[in-house]
Chains A and B, each alone.
Chain A
Amino acid sequence: MAKMMSGVLGAFKYEDAAVDAIKGLKAKGFKDLTVYSAAPNHHLEEALDQPVSWVRAFTLIGGLTGCAAGFGMTLWMSYDWPLMVGGKPIGAIPPYVVLGFELTILYGALSTVAGVIILSAMKSLKGRPFKPEFSDDTIGIFVPCPPEQRGTVRKFLEDVGSDEVSEHGA
């Protein structure tokens, strides 16, 4: 089991209390927060103010690769064994648009999923505490901090309206 990271975990039943906590912690210089929620929440996103995800780059590159693969495959295979069909050119672009389109979507979708997995895994959550109620009806905020700062952070979270605060790590 991963070693528990030193820090303080606050649980919030109220959304605005969690938003105030995030804003306050960021103002105090705590940047590496982990905020758990059961559903995407735009108030939390605004408070966290994170840059837009790079998943879009994966989607774009995957889609362009699929498009190139679709046209490349059909044209190469047509000229590899040239056979006149229905009086059309050997490498006929209009019918190959269908395959180019389908592979654009296929590669784009699969690389999007790969992007979500890779980018999510880039921030390791190992050692950060989690409680089952965070996937139910509670927002969790974990603040990594050295043991000597835990008391201050605990007090801040309690003052801002956390329903339950716990300290973690050695």
Chain B
Amino acid sequence: MTATLHDHPHPNMTHADVTRDVVATLQTPSRGYYLALFSAIGLFLVGAVTFLALLKDGLGLAGYTPPVFWSVYITTFVFWVGIGHAGTLISAILFLFRSPWRTAVYRSTEAMTVFAVMTAGLFPIIHIGRQWIFYWLLPYPNQRWLWPNFKSPLIWDVFAISTYLTVSTTFLVVGLVPDIAAVRDKMTGWRKKLYSALSIGWTGADSQWRHYSRGYLYLAALATPLVLSVHSVVSWDFAMSIIPGWHGTIFAPYFVAGAIYSGIGMVLTLVIPLRKVLKIEHMITEYHFDNLAKLTLLTGSILFYAYAMEYFVGWYSSNIFEQTTFWRRAFGPQWWSGWTMIICNAFVSQLLWFKKIRTNLTSLFVISIFINIGMWFERYVIITSSLANDFLPFAWGQMNPTWADWGILVGSFGWFGMYFLLFARTFPVVAIQEIKEMIPMPRRKKGAH
């Protein structure tokens, strides 16, 4: 019988099995890997060419239509920031809860976080139009000693996203060091030299573990409130204004739940094929997917509640502007986007009440695609429908995305996928040391302590 982690808490893998199987993922990749990588690079090039066109001719190429001047780029920004949240939830929050199932999947989700936030960070820059002066957002001493307006949620966002990218990258790198050392000791030639340099002298001595374990715990403790704050701050980009459909106190928890839901959707989309390509099916098993699916069900149900509450509050407010906005979300010119969001997020997630669906990887993969689509549309609906139908009907206007919107969106998937695939090829996507920590070492005296 193949050794698996499925029968946790008494897995029958040894420490040597873990090192061997994870190091094997770094050997010559399959044809499927190269196909995925070159597809990602191709998509990225589509985005790069679109971006060059935007630089040359300006934002007029995108589908902005008065009064909708936040649209696909801000939608995609929020989408990618949200994707990152599941990674931090799994790597930091579930670490503090000592959740055993996180160990096999947290490295790939953490890498997903870093690359998703890197992708998200591009969008405000693309969106501002004159991309070459994006540094005006930062508090640097300029010619007239003017400073940014710190009362603006957009500046809060600059700090929140920069902090999130820095801290999540730090968390990923710190977690990688002992694993890189384990890989180093199995490699030969130039790769041994590379991993030796990257392992910064790690030997696993008690004097290193003593400080490392504490430091990792504190990093997790710091990352936990951070992840909750980041999407709250993103939600305040909208909620601090008085635009109908945005001005709600529910926005922060609603956005955080949605972010985690979308992130787990992306984890499923990435990890289901990845475990097959890297031949680590025995390490990331139905047990892990079942737990991921339960988390999806929880956050999907919170979203269901939030959607219902948004409509209820819109109606209960007796405010004609709120009521009109929500009416037009469901029955206005872009009704299809509103219903895509509700069906993909609120209803599709409810299928996960059934264990048969939670443990069937094909159905989980299909559901994860629905989640990705639904969560992109959620942001599209929130952003564009509220702007399109503000206070005065004569000023209403519908935006229609153009090739410049779609080109950048497609390119962002390529940019993200390219980094993720290169990471999976270069570094252990399964955390060697944390899985070993779960597996008891052999003892001479059975049951003795």
Contacts and interface: CB of A to CB of B under 8 A. Distances in A.
Contacts of A153: none
Contacts of B437: 39-41
Interface string A148-170: 00000000000001000000000
Interface stretch (B117-125, B129-137, B206-214, B291-299): B206-214
Contact of A110 (B150, B166, B433, B444): B166
Nearest to A14: B444
Contacts of A128: 205
Interface stretch (A3-11, A23-31, A49-57): A49-57
Nearest to B444: A14
Contacts of B162: 106
A131 to B, nearest CB: 9
Nearest to B161: A102
B206 A34 contact: yes
A48 interface: yes
A116 B15 contact: no
Interface string B151-186: 110011001101100110011001000100110111
B156 A99 contact: yes
B449 interface: yes
Contacts of B181: 135
Interface in B98-156: 139, 145-152, 155-156
B445 A16 contact: yes
Contacts of A80: 145, 147
B207 A123 contact: yes
Interface in A37-81: 37-41, 43-45, 48, 50, 52-53, 55-56, 59, 63, 73-74, 77-78, 80-81
B434 interface: yes
Interface stretch (B218-226, B318-326, B343-351, B360-368): B218-226
B151 A92 contact: yes
B31 interface: no
B211 A119 contact: yes
B441 interface: yes
A159 to B, nearest CB: 13
B319 to A, nearest CB: 21
A50 B184 CA distance: 28
A73 B158 CA distance: 15
Interface residues of B, number: 65
B381 interface: no
A144 interface: no
A152 B206 CA distance: 24
Contact of B147 (A52, A77, A108): A77
A161 B445 CA distance: 12
Contact of A38 (B182, B212, B225): B182
Interface string B411-449: 000000000000000000000111011001111110011
B212 A85 contact: no
A55 B215 contact: yes
Given A34-B205, A98-B156, A17 B444 contact: yes
A102 B155 CA distance: 12
Interface in B32-91: none
Nearest to B443: A16
Interface of A: 13-17, 33-41, 43-45, 48, 50, 52-53, 55-56, 59, 63, 73-74, 77-78, 80-81, 83, 85-86, 88, 92, 95-96, 98-99, 101-103, 105-106, 108-110, 112-113, 115-116, 119-120, 123, 125, 128, 130, 132-137, 139, 161
Given A55-B214, A136-B185, 19 more contacts: A16-B448, A33-B206, A34-B206, A36-B205, A37-B204, A39-B434, A40-B209, A43-B449, A44-B206, A53-B211, A80-B145, A99-B155, A108-B218, A116-B211, A134-B203, A135-B204, A136-B15, A136-B186, A161-B444
5 contacts: A16-B449, A34-B207, A95-B156, A106-B167, A109-B170
In order of increasing CB-CB distance, the 7 nearest A-B pairs are: A132-B185, A137-B15, A77-B147, A116-B215, A15-B441, A39-B436, A53-B214
